Structure 1
Amino acid sequence: MIDSSSFPHPVYKDTVLAPLFEGVKAHHVTSITQINQAHLVMLCETGIVPVETGKQIAKALVEIEKDLADAEPEYTGEYEDYFFLVEAELKKRLGPDIAGMLHTARSRNDMDHTVFKLALAKRCDTLTQQALHLCDVLIKKAEIEKETLIVAYTHGQPAQPSTFGHYLSAALEVLLRDLERMKLARAGIDHCPMGAAAITTSGFPINRERMAELLGFSEPLLNSYGCIASVDYVTGLYSAMKLMFLHLGRVIQDMQFWSAFEVGQLYVPNSLVQISSIMPQKRNPVPIEHLRHLASITVGRCDAIVGTMHNTPFTDMNDSEGEVQQAGYAAFESGSRVLDLFAALISASSINEERVAKNTDASCITITELADTLVREEGLSFRQAHEIAADTAKAVIAEQQPLRDGFDPFGKAFEAHAQRVSSMSEDQFMHAVSAENFVAIRTRPGGPAPSALDAALATYKQAATALRASNKSYVDQSAQATKVRSAAFAKLVQE
């Protein structure tokens, strides 16, 4: 029979408290240690706790940290959670009066959200670094492939020629915008809740700015109620993350389509191909499938966290804490795998130029430039030119000819619609409908011509450099805080 006469109820212990305890051990012990150290330093600096007492607490915290790390404690239910375990260990060493001073002017409310922000900030910075590496890979590959022709598709059908570099640059542009959204979300994390205590701050003369500095935040989050109630730092970050992997998933889907046997535009090397167990002729680029489902899993995990916040009260609540936060960390794990694997796929893959040429010939995708050339060179209206081009395309497709061999049907179509003979020679016609000319002539900003693409890539490099500097500033801010906090805490321990 289950004993439900005292806290914790055995089922509550097994289903809630024990998993939370294990989650803290896995993800948050370091952050709790940092907060304890910073809070003690601030209490001593403001005179709220006498320095001599602070020294005793500091030395005991060092012992407790080592002892708990060595013991790897399991949850027994004796103490509600990891926080109370540390407090109990302090009491054993210092007695309840001195041990209790560490918790002056703070609450588990402001501590919890500070712990979560520290954990998310580190993960966000790491993920951003990985995404910036992918940006570098895309830039480098786009530069290498800026003249490599591809068939660009719309609505799943061959549309116009472009280059692999132009395509990758489009994906890069989106990723850079996604990183701007991640940058904004990261700024939402960079405000420290410590000092809010339970809801309304404290009557003690605490120094919230010093706490923010010691923990690596730029400043305190101003409104104390918002410190424990506003979870937009969570929803903002996971929303930005979701969009990054949703958008990458669309590019990954193109890679799957391009590598299909019937298209064959993308060649995936053997190092990223698995062979069927029964059909030895099959080259299965399964890493693309793993990329696709990992990106979707990441999107789903982000959605789960944001969805959990829906219709929750604007107050401190478990719906935004503990297990919810720990569940969200899985999105960073799967997202990290996507970024690394996708960077490897882009670096290693190449365009099958023979298949591109074959598909270009079969699909008549340069016909748009024939119409444009007729407008420029023959003085026709676009509608006239379009009708001539359409008739030419129909004729060569019916004969299963490449467009470059369609000079005769072109001449007939021109005479039929323009009521005169075209001044274009066969060589001029063949040049006008070549994929190389199609790309080269599109020099407008954002176009696939090498000059236009070079200009765009220069802009992308600048954007990536600025994002890298912003991310580095957060990493440096955290490192500086660790240095300052460690020195201040060590002074208490050593004196």
Structure 2
Amino acid sequence: MTMTDPRINDDSVFPDPVYKDTVLRPLFDSAKTHHVAAFGAIDQAHLVMLVETGILDAGQGRDIARALTAIAAEVDPATLVYTGDVEDYFFLIEKELKARLGPDLAGRLHTARSRNDIDHTLFKLGLKARLDVLIAKAQALYTVLIDTGEREKATLIVAYTHGQPAQPSTFGHYLGAMIEVLGRDIDRLQQAYGVVDQSPMGAAAITTSGFPINRARVAQLLGFAAPLQNSYSCIAAVDYITATYGAIELLFLHLGRPIQDLQVWSSFEVGQLYVPNALVQISSIMPQKRNPVPIEHLRLLSSQTFGRARAMLDVMRNTPFTDMNDSEGETQAMGYQAFDSAYRVLDLLASVMAQVRIDPARVATNIRRSCITITELADSLVRQEGLSFREGHEIAAAVARAVVAADGDLPQDGYGPFVTAFEKSVGRPTTIDAKRFAELVSPEHFVAVRDRFGGPALAPMNEALASYRARAAAFADAARARAAAQALAKAELNSKFGALIGAA
């Protein structure tokens, strides 16, 4: 049997129509939607560098710059329909350059670069812009939580463990825990930004170039902190993707937990959180219903954002350590959906947290029914009666059982059972009278005596809030520094590119 080389009679023409419709068209549409501005910036920065290093002369730079300007003015990406005449958006721009400059001069813009380093630079520019927005929205939520924590630092709540009433605390103290976790999540977003903020340009296909390029100059003009050093890493390492979406995944995993608490706290049975009418929808059939559905949407959208971010990590798993399509256009567009839902969650959660209030009557009722101040009775017996904590705990447990069984109120109805339990356990009368007993088991006393570092009493809460505000100021300073660096780079690129256009 004779074997025939399939290449001999291959008269097929690129692109295959199914491949065009299933791969090339979606990629082209994604590029024209998400990356046009970044393409333009990369072309401009690379051209400025080629002229500054002498790889191209001033006249060549001028003609290419003018052609790029004409393309930007004459080609509206929104109206483009993919036909298959060119492989992708990059080759469309090159085709437009050739039409204006001829193939020789048009082709010189691509000296010492590749679609490999261009692509990862595009994607990093896209992520940087989105991370700026995401960090700003996370910082806005951080500030709202601080403001609400300040307002509610003395507002009593029931704190839960294992889904059951545990101890009294304050809403401000609870929010402080949210603030601290969110602060660490913002740190992770900023760290991810630092990973993204390194330019791949100049790596070319894999190994840089024999031309005397200036990679640091291109990085500077594009607003990157520096060029990424190892050229193989520029086109193979996707840790800028995993760092970004790993940080997003953790942020929304963490936010989903207090959002779930908001759902429980606003339920009819618990009711300690009041959601104002502006955030409540009514039933179409049950007129008595107050449905705080924004909280449900927060939970849903947080889960969607988490899932989209996790999917990005899953796509990167077990991929080869090389340039590959898995990390490129299709995947980047998928990841942008995580940012879109993330923005919605942060905006809505900030609005909700600024408006909700604690219902003091429901809190008082729930404290009365659950005897959650009883821990302080056990502690007070150690301090005032010289008992061991275990002995004090057993006396307090007996009191709680008696009060709950009688559906009583601990400060008013607990003293009798306390006297009995104390004498039975210790063998002598207690020195604590009824008035002092009522003080010891009040929620106000419970919170006030917990004035250690990190506790809910006013002194440690004020200290904590001051530290949170200082951290918010540091976050704001970092954001301003990033914005200033981007503005400076954009201004210099515009200036240098504009000078090329006007060159004699």
- TM value normalised by structure 2: 0.97
Change (3 A) 1:4 1:148: farther
Residue 245 of structure 1 pairs with residue 248 of structure 2: no
Q: Secondary structure at the match of 1:126?
A: helix
Of residues 475-484 and 109-118 in structure 1, the stretch that sits farther from structure 2 once superposed is 475-484
Verify the 8 A CA contact 1:228 1:315 in the aligned structure 2.
yes
Identify which of 367, 384, 389 aligns with 1:360: 367
Matched residue type, 1:429: F
Q: Secondary structure at the match of 1:160?
A: strand
Residue 96 of structure 1 pairs with residue 103 of structure 2: yes
Residue 207 of structure 1 pairs with residue 214 of structure 2: yes
How far apart in 1 are the matches of 2:345 and 2:484? 26
Deviation at 1:402, TM superposition (A): 1.2
Identify which of 416, 420, 425 aligns with 1:417: 425
Matched residue type, 1:455: E
Q: Secondary structure at the match of 1:113?
A: helix
Paired residues in the alignment total 493
How far apart in 1 are the matches of 2:11 and 2:474? 58
1:15-57 deviations in Å (ceiling 9; x for gaps): 1111111101110000000000000000000000111110000
Residue 283 of structure 1 pairs with residue 290 of structure 2: yes
1:83-136 deviations in Å (ceiling 9; x for gaps): 000000000000000000000000000000000000000100110000000000
Verify the 8 A CA contact 1:273 1:283 in the aligned structure 2.
yes
Q: 1:119-158 residue pairs with structure 2 within 5 A?
A: 119-158=126-165
Identify which of 434, 440, 462 aligns with 1:432: 440
The residue that corresponds to 1:42 in the other structure is 49
Residue 488 of structure 1 pairs with residue 490 of structure 2: no
Q: Percent identity?
A: 59
Identify which of 253, 262, 270 aligns with 2:277: 270
How far apart in 1 are the matches of 2:426 and 2:502? 95
Verify the 8 A CA contact 2:197 2:224 in the aligned structure 1.
yes
Change (3 A) 1:480 1:18: same
How far apart in 1 are the matches of 2:78 and 2:128? 28
Verify the 8 A CA contact 1:366 1:435 in the aligned structure 2.
yes
Identify which of 61, 66, 71 aligns with 1:59: 66
How far apart in 1 are the matches of 2:335 and 2:389? 54
Verify the 8 A CA contact 2:32 2:78 in the aligned structure 1.
no
Matched residue type, 1:175: L
How far apart in 2 are the matches of 1:98 and 1:348? 61
Verify the 8 A CA contact 2:32 2:77 in the aligned structure 1.
no
How far apart in 2 are the matches of 1:263 and 1:58? 66
Matched residue type, 1:477: A
Deviation at 1:468, TM superposition (A): 2.2
Q: Secondary structure at the match of 1:161?
A: strand
Root mean square deviation of aligned Cα: 1.0
Q: 1:182-197 residue pairs with structure 2 within 5 A?
A: 182-197=189-204
1:361-393 deviations in Å (ceiling 9; x for gaps): 000000000000111011111111111101110
How far apart in 2 are the matches of 1:494 and 1:192? 28
The residue that corresponds to 2:184 in the other structure is 177
1:223-273 deviations in Å (ceiling 9; x for gaps): 000000000000011001100011000010000000000000100011000
Query: Can you give the 5+ residue segments of structure 1 that lack an aligned partner in the other structure?
Result: none
Q: Secondary structure at the match of 1:315?
A: coil
Deviation at 1:460, TM superposition (A): 1.3
Q: Secondary structure at the match of 1:159?
A: strand
The residue that corresponds to 1:345 in the other structure is 352
Q: Secondary structure at the match of 1:121?
A: helix
Residue 400 of structure 1 pairs with residue 440 of structure 2: no
Of residues 315-324 and 65-74 in structure 1, the stretch that sits farther from structure 2 once superposed is 65-74
Matched residue type, 2:130: R
Deviation at 1:73, TM superposition (A): 1.2
How far apart in 2 are the matches of 1:391 and 1:437? 21
Deviation at 1:303, TM superposition (A): 0.6
Verify the 8 A CA contact 2:33 2:78 in the aligned structure 1.
no
Deviation at 1:72, TM superposition (A): 2.1
Q: Secondary structure at the match of 1:284?
A: coil
Verify the 8 A CA contact 1:239 1:303 in the aligned structure 2.
yes
Residue 10 of structure 1 pairs with residue 17 of structure 2: yes
Deviation at 1:70, TM superposition (A): 7.1
How far apart in 1 are the matches of 2:112 and 2:425? 87
The residue that corresponds to 2:7 in the other structure is none
- TM value normalised by structure 1: 0.99
Deviation at 1:153, TM superposition (A): 0.2
Deviation at 1:472, TM superposition (A): 2.4
Identify which of 338, 359, 366 aligns with 1:331: 338
How far apart in 2 are the matches of 1:70 and 1:243? 35
The residue that corresponds to 1:446 in the other structure is 454
How far apart in 1 are the matches of 2:11 and 2:375? 78
Identify which of 433, 458, 468 aligns with 2:466: 458
